[in-house]
């Protein structure tokens, strides 16, 4: 039919999804079981933990997450006292989000988990391959 065979297992969007799902699973179990967090909540938490005070809009733009998802994640994180909101005085539409002490604790714990989890994931991969992988994924997904 065609000279180079097409295998679904090699189709890039499919392959990426499989790899993403498989490699997210273990970490998801941690933040889910330990803190009852959802995927978007973990992401918002990490954005605030890593980059400090920012608005919902900025997180959305940076992570390509829809604003409704962020809105709900922020609500739940606030309900657990992981973050607090502060309206911007200049532009009263904006809300600056910031982790509380409790939120920073959770973040610090998950941060360590993330690092060791990733180390386990990449345990058997050559350092050069890891670099290449990151570069290519960034090109595809940025």
Q: Write out the residues near DNA by the rule CB under 7 A.
A: 38-40, 55-58, 60, 66-72, 74-75, 90-95
What, of its own copies, DNA, none, does residue 140 touch, CB below 5 to 8 Å by kind? its own copies
What is the per-residue binding string for its own copies in 94-123, x denoting contact by CB under 8 A? -----------------x--xx-xx--xx-
How far apart are alpha carbons 38 and 7 in whole angstroms?
33
Q: Which helix (H) or strand (E) holds 98?
A: strand 95-99
**Quick one: 24 or 87, whose CB is closer to its own copies?**
24
User: Candidates 73-81, 85-93, 94-102, 133-141 — which segment interacts with its own copies by CB under 8 A?
Assistant: 133-141
**Residue labelled with tokens 């809009």:** 57
In sequence order, what DSSP letters do the residues of 53-73 get, joined into one string? Answer: SEEHHHHHHHHT--HHHHHHH
Rg (CA), the chain: 18
What, of DNA, its own copies, none, does residue 12 touch, CB below 5 to 8 Å by kind? its own copies
**Phi, psi at residue 133, to the nearest 5°?**
-55, -50
């Amino acid at each position: 039919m065609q000279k180079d065979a097409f295998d679904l297992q090699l189709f890039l969007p499919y392959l990426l999804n499989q790899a993403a799902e498989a490699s997210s699973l273990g970490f998801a179990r941690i933040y889910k079981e330990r803190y009852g967090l959802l995927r978007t909540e973990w992401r918002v938490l990490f954005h605030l933990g890593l980059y400090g005070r920012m608005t919902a809009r900025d997180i959305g733009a940076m992570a390509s997450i829809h604003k409704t998802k962020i809105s709900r994640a922020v609500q739940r994180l606030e309900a657990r006292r992981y973050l607090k909101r502060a309206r911007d005085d200049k532009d009263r539409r904006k809300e600056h989000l910031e982790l509380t002490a409790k939120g920073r604790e959770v973040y610090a714990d998950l941060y360590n988990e993330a690092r060791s989890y990733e180390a386990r994931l990449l345990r058997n991969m050559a350092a050069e391959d890891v670099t290449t992988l990151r570069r290519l994924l960034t090109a595809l997904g940025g």
